[in-house]
């Protein structure tokens, strides 16, 4: 796994920027951040019931400079930044057997670093000791609707699932291998393939999402970073209409990228946000299908930018609530693929 920062600034835009450790806020105040960075003079930290959060300007971090660099980093060095800023795009999981690191696909540097990038181990070694982390215990993990296993049992199953993912396979084939391994571990036989049913599920999901984003469908009229972002998602969903040349074999770099996405989804426990492993894998499958359906090109550079946008969209609370309503359809689309 490789990763480099490409200064795309995606991590500085639209995200909720916090919570920030009080000592970080106190340190910046002591350094005189309001005098050193003019935009901070109008306020740069908000107090909320969830803690301290950095202020946004046009849906971007108050410290994001016009050249795409961080003002705090430039003025005082990386140690002065909040721990979550220094940790992104890595997810840190503390679990039985040690600490696991996964890289997030909603970082623009993940796909750009795939080939020829710096080994991610170098960035991981530089993560702060106070990096936000998920502590993985023995709490039950919902694997299928209504079916759960113990957290420790999941770790063994996770290793088995990750071993099924190959860099030289179509991503949907990898996801079907995971589906079959997941069902096999629970002594359940996969249903007979029903491509028409699966395609109908995907198209239904696309139409529901497109309808929900209808007001954001005109990029020309979008005002502000968030509005332009949603307009871009709406445009991408419209471009992913059925009938596109979506079945062409992917280029090797695209296959390798989506294999990385699938592995990191499992290692980083990203399925937690969906509520169950099956729904999380279904969401990954939907993202792959939509990325392929919106362009006839099959290489990484054509597919990844919109897939990153889609991945960021699915982390939005409103999008998650919408997808939660259709979670069984997500699984059905993968189940019958």
Mean pLDDT of the chain: 91
CA distance 229 to 44: 23
The 8 Å CB, 24+ separation contacts for 50-55 are 50/18, 50/19, 51/18, 51/19, 51/20, 52/18, 52/19, 52/20, 52/21, 52/22, 52/25, 53/16, 53/17, 53/18, 53/19, 53/20, 54/17, 54/18, 54/20, 54/82, 55/17
Handedness of CA 319, 324, 328, 331 (dihedral sign): positive
Q: What percent of the chain has pLDDT over 90?
A: 76
Helix (H, G, I), strand (E, B), or coil: what is residue 81?
Answer: coil
Split at pLDDT 50, 70, 90, the class of 214 is confident
Indicate the domain borders of the chain.
Answer: 1-136, 142-335
Res 10 pLDDT > 60? yes
CA distance 170 to 181: 17
For the stretch 249-303, pLDDT in tens is 999 999 999 999 999 999 999 999 999 999 999 999 999 999 999 888 999 999 9
Whole-prediction pTM: 0.92
Cβ atoms within 10 A of the Cβ of 166, count?
Answer: 13
Query: 229 with 60: CB under 8 angstroms?
Result: no
Res 220 pLDDT > 80? no
Nearest to 132 by CA among 158, 172, 104: 104
The neighbouring-strand residues paired with 64 are 70
Res 246 pLDDT > 60? no
Phi, psi of 19 (to 5 degrees): -75, 150
Res 244 pLDDT > 60? no
């Amino acid at each position: 796994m490789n990763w480099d920062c490409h200064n795309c600034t995606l991590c500085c835009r639209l995200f909720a920027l916090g919570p920030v450790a009080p000592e970080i806020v106190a340190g910046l105040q002591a350094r005189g951040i309001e005098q050193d960075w003019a935009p901070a003079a109008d306020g740069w930290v908000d107090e909320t019931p969830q803690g301290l959060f950095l202020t946004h300007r046009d849906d971007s971090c108050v410290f994001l400079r016009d050249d795409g660099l961080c003002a705090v980093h430039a003025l005082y060095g990386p140690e002065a930044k909040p721990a979550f800023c220094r940790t992104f795009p890595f997810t840190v999981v503390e679990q039985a057997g040690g600490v696991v690191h996964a890289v997030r696909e909603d970082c623009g540097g993940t796909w750009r670093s795939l080939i020829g990038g710096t080994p991610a181990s170098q960035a991981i070694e530089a993560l702060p000791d106070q990096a936000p982390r998920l502590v993985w215990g023995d709490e039950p993990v919902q694997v299928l609707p209504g079916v759960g296993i113990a957290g420790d049992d999941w770790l063994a199953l996770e290793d088995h699932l990750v071993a099924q993912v190959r860099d030289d396979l179509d991503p949907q084939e990898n996801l079907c291998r995971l589906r079959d391994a997941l069902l096999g571990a629970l002594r359940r036989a996969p249903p007979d393939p029903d491509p028409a049913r699966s395609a109908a599920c995907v198209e239904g999901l696309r139409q529901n999402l497109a309808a929900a984003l209808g007001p954001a469908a005109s990029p020309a009229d979008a005002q502000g970073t968030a509005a332009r972002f949603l307009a871009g998602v709406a445009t991408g969903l419209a471009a992913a209409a059925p009938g596109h040349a979506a079945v062409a074999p992917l280029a090797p770099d695209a296959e390798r990228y989506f294999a990385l996405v699938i592995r990191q989804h499992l290692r980083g426990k990203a399925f937690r946000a969906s509520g169950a492993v099956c729904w999380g894998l279904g969401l990954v499958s939907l993202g792959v299908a939509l990325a392929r359906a919106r362009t006839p090109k099959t290489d990484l550079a054509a597919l990844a930018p919109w897939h990153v946008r889609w991945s960021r969209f699915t982390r939005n609370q409103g999008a998650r609530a919408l997808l939660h309503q259709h979670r069984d359809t997500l699984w059905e689309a993968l189940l019958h693929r």
